[in-house]
Amino acid sequence: MISLYKWFTSARRHELLTSARRFITYAAGLAVIWVITVGCLAGPVRAAMAASTYGPVPPAGVAPPGGYSNVITSQTITPAGGTIGPLIVDGAVVTLVIPPGAFPVSVQITITAPDLSAVGDAGLHGYEAVAGVGIQVQVNGQRYPGTFLKPLILTIRKSSITASSVVVVWNGTAFVTETDATVMSGVAVVRFDTDPDFAVLSPQKATPGTPIPGATRSATGKPFLGEGILAGALLTFGASGIVVGRRRRARA
């Protein structure tokens, strides 16, 4: 009985040791697989995190009226250049041309739209915003430093753009007139070499029924009632004078 008990105890111990070795081997294998998997995913995860930084960055200085935060598109442009658009931005057809050599590295260009009603007259009395485009250039999620090596060309087409329209750009504190812009009926073309927020302003249209400053008001017949009575009285008095004069001459 003692020998049988020793044999059973020894066999049980051997079975437990074998199970323990198998568990350790299995756990070590899982650890190796986990390390390999994490290593393989690290690159794509970092890339995804970097890509997530693309898009509008907080504006430098004071944010322009209208916000310019509604993203229309965000595209990568290589040093070979390219074209973004045509795109519809606030009802305008927008095309951005990036010439070859404008950037020494690949950049991310984001085009945004403002709230035109918030842009208003952009500080130019008698005008109203009819189109607006924001453009941001980034490298690895950061704003592109300095000016571009070559100017980009932005074309904005909309029927409400007239030959009297004006292109303004946000300078960080206020909208100012963009000097490097060409405006014709239905189209505005701008060349620029820094991140801009543009707005196209057209003269306000007069609303029917709105009085024009300095214009004379229309008058009804009522103001002439008193003058008509006075004229009638003078006419009657004159006629009476003529009759009296004739009677006097007849008696004479």
How many CB atoms lie under 10 A from the CB of residue 47? 10
Q: How confident is the model at residue 49 (pLDDT cuts 50, 70, 90)?
A: very low
pTM of the complete model beyond 0.75: no
Q: Yes or no: say if 133 and 154 are a contact pair by the CB < 8 Å rule.
A: yes
Q: Yes or no: say if 143 and 110 are a contact pair by the CB < 8 Å rule.
A: no
What average pLDDT does this structure show over 206-224?
48
Q: What is the pLDDT of residues 53-94, one digit of tens each?
A: 444 554 455 788 888 999 999 999 999 999 999 999 989 999
Please give the pLDDT value at position 103. 97
What percent of the chain has a predicted confidence (pLDDT) above 90?
Answer: 48
148: nearest Cα among 200, 81, 198? 81
The DSSP secondary-structure symbol of 224 reads: G
Tokens representing residue 148 in the block: 């571009």
Q: Yes or no: say if 94 and 40 are a contact pair by the CB < 8 Å rule.
A: no
Q: How confident is the model at residue 128 (pLDDT cuts 50, 70, 90)?
A: very high
pLDDT exceeds cutoff 70 at 22: no
86 prior amide bond cis, ω within 30:
yes
Q: How confident is the model at residue 243 (pLDDT cuts 50, 70, 90)?
A: very low
Tokens representing residue 55 in the block: 């898009």
What average pLDDT does this structure show over 147-172?
95
pLDDT exceeds cutoff 60 at 21: yes
- Exposed, middle or buried: residue 77 (CB in 10 Å: 0-12, 13-18, 19+)? buried
Q: How confident is the model at residue 207 (pLDDT cuts 50, 70, 90)?
A: low
pLDDT exceeds cutoff 60 at 192: yes
> What are residue 176's DSSP bridge partners?
169
Q: How confident is the model at residue 35 (pLDDT cuts 50, 70, 90)?
A: very low
Backbone angles phi, psi at 103, to 5 degrees: -130, 140
Backbone angles phi, psi at 236, to 5 degrees: -65, -45
User: Distance (Å, rounded) from C-alpha 88 to C-alpha 197?
Assistant: 16
How many CB atoms lie under 10 A from the CB of residue 5? 9
The DSSP secondary-structure symbol of 102 reads: S
